[in-house]
């Protein structure tokens, strides 16, 4: 059976060990010698503040406490909506709004962090969009910006892709949200479209009238030709034949009774004797 002194020593030893373990755990939690990289993120390793070449992928990674620091960079697709005021080649004021989908090239995230930092949208993307929108819109007239919108959008995307790739930023999608012009120009465009529609309607009506007139002339010519042919075919024999046909039809319809006629006058009757 253990003596009271030995029991006290064991209790003190157990308590001391428990305190040591708790202290170690607290120190471990405070210095946090690991880093967790989430989905769509990359880890930038800093050795005493200096950016290293290695980029950490998603998952759990260990670091050297007090020496290494891990910065998280988002490499997922992000969206930027930017407005810009520019002028067309015919000096019409244009207000544009575009939407850009982009992402940081994952294995170049350390270079982006080192050269630009985490505020790359404000420092690089927004100014690049503004510059490209103004440069491209200045090569088109205001009317072409409307009628050639797909070509304008494609040119903006191509130019912006080349510009941002220099900063290790990839363009995923680009679209023009809206073109807005001055009210005077908008009214002029609407008036022009209305005039073109009216002119097109008048042309269609004129074409229809011409077709109908040609049809009428053709029908009249056909009827005249038919009458001419009938005239050519009329002869005494034909006239006699038509008279006999008419007489036979009259006989077929007669019921054999003479009409009752009162008063003076001749009795009508079909000339059978002929």
The per-residue DSSP string of 87-122 comes to E-TT--EEEEEEEEEEEE-GGGHHHHHHHT-S-HII
The least confident of 106-115, 123-132, 196-205 is 196-205
The per-residue DSSP string of 137-179 comes to HTTS-HHHHHHTHHHHHHHHHHHHHHHHHTTTEEEEEEEEEEE
Q: Name the residue among 138, 133, 173 with its Cα closest to residue 156.
A: 133
- pLDDT score at 218: 81
How far is Cα 152 from Cα 136, in angstroms, rounded to an integer? 7
Measured CA to CA in angstroms, residue 40 lies from 76, 119, 166 at distances of 5, 18, 22
DSSP code at position 124: I
How far is Cα 9 from Cα 152, in angstroms, rounded to an integer? 85
Confidence of residue 211 (pLDDT cuts 50, 70, 90): confident
Residue 137 in contact with residue 152, Cβ under 8 Å?
yes
State yes or no: pLDDT of 175 exceeds 70.
yes
Q: What percent of the chain has pLDDT over 70?
A: 75
70-98 tens-digit pLDDT: 999 999 999 998 888 888 888 888 888 89
Residue 97 in contact with residue 56, Cβ under 8 Å?
no
Cβ-based neighbours of 139, under 8 Å, separated by 6 or more: 89
How far is Cα 218 from Cα 124, in angstroms, rounded to an integer? 73
Average of per-residue pLDDT values in the chain? 80
pTM assigned to the model: 0.59
Q: Name the residue among 182, 222, 159 with its Cα closest to residue 91.
A: 182
State yes or no: pLDDT of 106 exceeds 70.
yes
Q: Name the residue among 124, 134, 131, 133 with its Cα closest to residue 78.
A: 124
State yes or no: pLDDT of 231 exceeds 90.
no
- pLDDT score at 108: 94
- pLDDT score at 274: 42
- pLDDT score at 146: 83
Higher pLDDT, 240 or 45: 45
* Count of beta carbons in the 10 Å neighbourhood of residue 139: 12
How far is Cα 152 from Cα 175, in angstroms, rounded to an integer? 10
Higher pLDDT, 249 or 232: 249
The least confident of 20-34, 186-200, 257-271 is 257-271
Confidence of residue 256 (pLDDT cuts 50, 70, 90): low
Higher pLDDT, 213 or 122: 122
- pLDDT score at 246: 77
Confidence of residue 273 (pLDDT cuts 50, 70, 90): very low
- pLDDT score at 56: 93
Which strands, in side-by-side order, build the sheet including 169-181?
A: 78-87, 93-104, 169-181
State yes or no: pLDDT of 268 exceeds 60.
no
State yes or no: pLDDT of 272 exceeds 50.
no
Highest mean predicted confidence (pLDDT) among 7-21, 36-50, 172-186: 36-50
19-71 tens-digit pLDDT: 777 777 776 666 677 788 989 999 999 999 899 999 999 998 888 888 888 99
């Amino acid at each position: 059976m253990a003596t009271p002194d030995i029991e006290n020593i064991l209790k003190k030893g157990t308590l001391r060990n428990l305190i040591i373990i708790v202290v170690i755990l607290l120190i471990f939690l405070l210095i946090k010698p690991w880093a967790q990289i989430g989905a769509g993120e990359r880890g930038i390793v800093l050795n005493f503040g200096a950016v290293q070449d290695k980029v950490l992928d998603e998952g759990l990674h260990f670091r050297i406490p007090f020496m290494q620091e891990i910065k998280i960079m988002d490499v997922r697709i992000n969206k930027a909506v930017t407005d810009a005021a520019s002028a067309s080649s015919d000096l019409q004021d244009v207000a544009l709004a575009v939407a850009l989908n982009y992402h940081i090239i994952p294995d170049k995230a350390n270079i982006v962090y080192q050269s630009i930092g985490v505020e790359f949208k404000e420092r690089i993307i927004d100014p690049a969009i503004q510059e490209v929108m103004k440069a491209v819109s200045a090569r088109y007239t205001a009317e072409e910006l409307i009628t050639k919108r797909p070509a304008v959008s494609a040119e903006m995307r191509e130019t912006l892709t080349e510009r941002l790739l220099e900063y290790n930023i990839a363009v995923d999608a680009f679209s023009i949200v809206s073109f807005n012009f001055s009210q005077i120009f908008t009214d002029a465009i609407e008036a022009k479209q209305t005039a073109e529609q009216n002119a097109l309607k008048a042309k269609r009506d004129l074409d229809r009238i011409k077709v109908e007139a040609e049809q009428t002339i053709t029908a009249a010519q056909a009827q005249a030709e038919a009458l001419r042919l009938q005239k050519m075919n009329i002869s005494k024999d034909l006239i006699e034949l038509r008279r006999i046909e008419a007489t036979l039809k009259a006989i077929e319809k007669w019921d054999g009774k003479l009409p009752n006629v009162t008063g003076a006058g001749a009795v009508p009757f079909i000339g059978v004797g002929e």
